Structures are given as structure tokens and as C-alpha cells.
Structure 1
Amino acid sequence: MRHLLSFLGAAMLAGAVHAAPAVVVSPYKHLPQHWPDDSVITVAQGALLAQAGRSAALTWAFATGECGSETWNGRPGQAVAHANTKAFERAGVDYIVSTGGQGGVFTCASDAGMERFIARYDTPRLLGFDFDIEAEQTPAQIRALTDRIAVAQRKHPRLRFSFTVATHAASDGSQASLNPMAERVLAAVRASGIKDYVLNLMVMDYGPASSKVCVLRGERCDMGASALQAARNVHAKYGVPFAQIELTPMIGVNDVVENVFTLEDAATVAHGVRELGLAGLHYWSLDRDTPCEAKGADARCSSMPGVPAGAYWKAFSQAVRR
């Protein structure tokens, strides 16, 4: 771990003063995807991330439970923080701590709990926190969380706070994008008075191809064009500035197997992120950025046998090169 992180951070230590990148580009690293009984987040593709220089970052996924007593797939938050934060700081590698996720719930009922949560992971390399809210949270829980974040933001102005939500990418003129849960999240963020929040759109799993949910290319969803269409729809329909929108595609074969995100799509999205001035570009996931012969979505690979390992990272890194 120490060797890999040192290699990952080698290109990032040229300056003594660290500044967060204007555009955050980072893959998600699913914490359970590592050696059994090891709470250390492994970085199998450290050399690939090092190619991105100062833009290299990792998004850790996912903390669940109540803030201040959160766990990571059953592991105590303090154990995970102890195993990772100082190692990332020494290596000069930026990171984002993500919460919730598919089937996961993260709540926060007190400002004291939020402060314990933030302090646990805080180092100079911490870019901020992401709150992935997909299902099974009540409006009261969401509002309690956003109220706590608003207070924390005033205490920690250097940190970015993002909210990951599901979206469609309608191309039929309806501007259909955020689902009802995502609309509730956005409304709570605004009601709590959170400033400069980032709305992270999950541009994946649109379902059967239709102009009601995506941009069509023949009889399939054009995944690259659809990702950018989602950003345009959210900007136009909800008034969210482009500079506060970021995108997270699922590379390769999605859970909806007819939704396939190709390398061509990755290049399209990277170019669009630059052109629209979006806040960031992430992808699910670091572990999947390798080829395999699987027929459907696989947590260990992209299910794209002809695509080399690390190819998606190389394509996405173009989002920050000028």
C-alpha cells in the first residue's frame, strides 16, 4: 500500500502548497473490493492515476449509518480513517469521502456528530464529502442532513460538498432529468442554504432506449451524448449553474446491459465537461477499469474485452488538460 501510494503521489508533489484542482476528476474506489479483513483501500492501478498529475484523486465509497458512528461495510469509521488518511496525505493523493450509495443510507441528526465525522477524515488532501442519496431516506432525514452540512460548510469553507443523485437525460424536449428523490435532495440543499454545492449526476442505467430517457443513437442510448444532455437538462429545468454540476458514468456495460458506455463515450464526456465548464467528472469504478469476458455488469471489470486496463482513466483525464 505504501509503495503504491508513493508512486501515485509522485507526480503531485512538485509544489509545497496544495491547491484543489478546478475540475475534480476521480474514479470511485469501492472499499469492500480489496483483500479480505483489510480495511486499507488498495490502489491497484496507482501508475495510471499518477499519469494525471495534480488532478489525481480517489473517491472512497461508501460510509453508511449515523454521522460520527458511521461504518464502511461493517468496519468502524475510525479504523478505516486510521488505515488510510495519513497514507494518502504522505503520498500527496487527494481524496473525497462518499456516503450512502445504492442500498446504503447515511444520516446525520446533530452538528456534533457531523463534526466528529469530518474530523475523522480531515487532512490537507481531503477535498470534501459526497452524499450519494438514492432511496429509503425520508424528507426529514434528508433535511436534517442538509442542515448539518450547511453548518459544517461555514466551519470548513475549504471543503467541497457534493450530492450524488439519479438522473435521466431526455432528448424529447421535456428536460426530464432528476427523479423525485433527486428533486427532494435539491430542494433540501437549497432550503438549508448550502452555498456552492455540487450536484453529481449519475449518468447511467437509463433503461430501454427512448428519447424520454436518453439521447438516441440508432436503437440504443448514446451514453456520451446522454451524459451531457443530463447536465443541460438540469441546468435549464432547475437553474443549477454548470459550474455546480458534475457527472458520474458507469464505464463499460451498465447494470442495464443495453446501456454500454464506450471509450468513445468517455472522450465525448471529457470534452463536454471542458466545454460546459462542469465541476467534475467521476466514474464507477476504479476496479472496473480493466477488461474481461463477462456478459453483464461485473464489479471487477468493464465487461469490455477489447478495452485495455486503464483506458477509461486516460480518456477521462482529458477533462482537465488544456
Structure 2
Amino acid sequence: MTTRIPRTALATAAAVAALAGLAQAPAAGAAPATPQADAAAAPAMAVAPYLYNGWGSPPDPKTVMDATGVKWFTLAFVLSNGTCDPQWDGSRPLSGGVDEGTVESVRAAGGDVIPSFGGWSGNKLESSCSSAQELAGAYQKVIDAYGLKAIDIDIEAEAYDSPEVQQRTVDALKAVKEANPGLKVFMTFGTGQDGPDTSLINRAAEAGLTVDSWTIMPFNFDGNGQNMGELSVRAAEGLKTAVKDAYGYSDDEAYRSTGISSMNGVTDVGETITPDDFRTLLGYAQEHNLARLTFWSVNRDRPCEGGGADSCSEVPQEPWEFTKVLAGYEGPAQESAR
């Protein structure tokens, strides 16, 4: 059994103490923070397809690892049970269930996981927790339960739309980063065809929060009938510009602080994303040293044999073909001297 690090009073106190220091956060208009020297995610971590135990006959992660070479998975989703208590899908406990079993299975095979908080549906901790302190404590509970190296905040729907929830999330993540040196934090959110809404990026920059990847989801954005690889690159260029402007980064720094999380196959609104589109994204990531390159979801990375959209891609493909394409990304090259 994989060693688990229990939550301790010390860890919780550290998160609260770190949050107290946020009173000194830079005011709007202050000089933006610069990315940490190790801001880009470690190469093995850059490609971590989403794996969801809630539906779609979840695949055995070791089978996927053996077939593709991928080592990391983004495990979805940590939600609220109606209070500020993190649970898988808002109903399954952190310990003793299928999700802990997935963590142990991946680690036993030489990989690791990145729990994802949020998603489109369900009760969000970011909304259910009443303060940044409480939200930081909820994040910390999951970090401690699994001894994590990284977390993903998939902020969508009403959580993204609320300025109050956005600020609570930013402040909580500042506390978490201070309490957990070296922890990677990925922020994942929707986008338009020319790039994302910039409210969360600007709010984070003004508060002095840097994350390891601002990651857009370039799908479900009226791309029907268009080349989704090229359209995704267009959106990613808009993201790069938004991050560059908010933080005062160079182009190279901005690219290294951004990422793409696509969707394989036929999307919720009928767009079609093919393995060739993923090859376009792979080339773009390699050219610009993106911090993250992933997709929703490995559950769907199979040809259809009578299954639904939650268990197959609905496009012609070999098993695990989308994962194999992105597994060719080795992560950002060594950062150039500034």
C-alpha cells in the first residue's frame, strides 16, 4: 500500500498562517510577480490526461501506462458534499475507496496523480467554503491525504462567473503555495476562440499569485466544421497574450506559464477533434515549451463499440491513440536565461 501522509495540525496551521500574510498582497496596479525559476511543470507531469472514476467504464491506468508511456493522470473531480468538506464527486471519501485505489495503482506502476478540484457540474468547494481560509484548509486536506506534488483547479460555471469566488480561490491558493513549497498548481478554465476571459488571470496577477500553468480548454466554443487543431492554437495564442500582459512576462515566460487541455473526439456541442488535431497541439507545445498538454479524457480514448460518449471518442482511432500522441511531449525544454 502506498504510504499516505496524514493531515496534521501543523500543516493546517501553516496554511492559515500563510493566508494571514495575504493582507500584505500587492494592490491592483502593483508591479507583477515574476514566475519562479521552476515555473514550468516537470516533464513527466506535463502530460496528465484526465481519468474519471465516476462514469464511462474507467480504464485500468496501468493498461494505459503500459500502452502509451504516460506516467501521470489528472484524477477528477474533488467536490463539496454541500459543506467545505472535500470528497470525490462530492460523495466518495478520500480514503478507502476506488479513488485511493487508483492513486495506489498509478504509483505502484511508477507514475503519479494530480487531483482536480471542480469541473463543470456538482457542488464546488470554491463556492461552498465560506472563506479563503476554509478553502485553503480543504485543499490542504487532499494534499496531505495523498502527499501530492501537484493540484489542478478546474474552475468553471458559476465558480468562474463569481468575482467573489474567483478572489476566494486566488487567496486560498496563495496560502496553499506558501504552506507547500514546491507544490505545482495548475489553473484550468474555458476559453473563446481568440483566447479566454482575462478576469481570473488579472485578479491573480494583481494579488501576486503565480501558477505553474494557466491552462485553457479549447472546445465547446462553437468550433463546429472548423479545424480544431488550428482553432485551439489560435485560442492558446490569446491565452499567451493575456498572461504576458497581466504579469509583464516576455513571450517565452508567458508560453512556459500556459497550457492546453483539449477534448478527444466528438465534443459536447458536436465539434470533432481528431488525432491529427492532437498532433497539431503537440507541435505547438514543442515549439513554445508549454507547461502543460493534456485532455479530457482517457475514459474516452477508445474506439466506439456500442458505448456512449462517456466511454469512447466517437471518431475512428486505435485504443489510447490520443494519449499516445500527447505522450510524445517531453515537457518544456530547459528555461533560457533571463
Q: TM-score, normalised by structure 2?
A: 0.72
> Does structure 2 retain, via aligned residues, the 8 Å contact 1:68–1:117?
no
Query: What are the residue-to-residue correspondences of 1:265-284 with 2, within 5 Å?
Result: 265-284=277-296
Which sections of structure 1, spanning at least 5 residues, go unmatched? Answer: 3-18, 36-41, 170-175, 210-219
Equivalent residue, structure 2, for 1:6 = none
Q: TM-score, normalised by structure 1?
A: 0.76
The whole-number CA distance in structure 2 between the counterparts of 1:256 and 1:113 is 32
The whole-number CA distance in structure 1 between the counterparts of 2:292 and 2:274 is 19
Equivalent residue, structure 2, for 1:163 = 187
Equivalent residue, structure 1, for 2:263 = 250
Shift in Å, 1:207: 1.1
Percent identity for Structure 1 against Structure 2: 24
Seen in structure 2, the aligned counterparts of structure 1 residues 270 and 123 have a Cα distance that, compared at 3 Å, is: farther
> Does structure 2 retain, via aligned residues, the 8 Å contact 1:111–1:152?
no
Shift in Å, 1:50: 3.2
The whole-number CA distance in structure 2 between the counterparts of 1:120 and 1:48 is 25
Equivalent residue, structure 2, for 1:21 = 43
Equivalent residue, structure 2, for 1:120 = 142
The whole-number CA distance in structure 2 between the counterparts of 1:125 and 1:282 is 22
The one-letter amino acid paired with 1:317 is A
Seen in structure 2, the aligned counterparts of structure 1 residues 23 and 77 have a Cα distance that, compared at 3 Å, is: closer
Counterpart among 210, 215, 238 of residue 200 in structure 1: 215
SS of alignment partner, residue 239 of structure 1: helix
Would you say 1:57 and 2:41 are equivalent positions?
no
Shift in Å, 1:129: 1.1
Shift in Å, 1:167: 0.8
Shift in Å, 1:196: 3.8
Query: What are the residue-to-residue correspondences of 1:1-322 with 2, within 5 Å?
Result: 20-21=42-43, 24-33=46-55, 43-50=59-66, 53=69, 56-65=71-80, 69-73=85-89, 74-80=91-97, 82-104=100-122, 105-107=124-126, 108=129, 109-111=131-133, 114-122=136-144, 126-137=148-159, 138-169=162-193, 176-179=194-197, 183-207=198-222, 209=224, 220-239=225-244, 241-257=254-270, 259-292=271-304, 298-304=309-315, 306-320=316-330
The one-letter amino acid paired with 1:129 is I
The one-letter amino acid paired with 1:29 is L
> Does structure 2 retain, via aligned residues, the 8 Å contact 1:291–1:308?
yes
Higher relative contact order (CA 8 A, sep 6+): 2
Seen in structure 2, the aligned counterparts of structure 1 residues 60 and 208 have a Cα distance that, compared at 3 Å, is: closer
The whole-number CA distance in structure 2 between the counterparts of 1:76 and 1:48 is 25
Structure 1, residues 140-186: CA drift from partner, whole Å, max 9, x if none? Answer: 122112101101101212111111111122xxxxxx3213xxx2322
More strand by share: 1
Seen in structure 2, the aligned counterparts of structure 1 residues 67 and 201 have a Cα distance that, compared at 3 Å, is: farther
Shift in Å, 1:199: 0.8
Which sections of structure 2, spanning at least 5 residues, go unmatched? Answer: 3-40, 246-253, 334-338
Shift in Å, 1:99: 1.0
Structure 1, residues 234-287: CA drift from partner, whole Å, max 9, x if none? Answer: 212442601111111110111121x11111111111111111110011111011
Structure 1, residues 67-116: CA drift from partner, whole Å, max 9, x if none? Answer: 86112222133445654444544443211110111123231424365245
Aligned pair count?
277
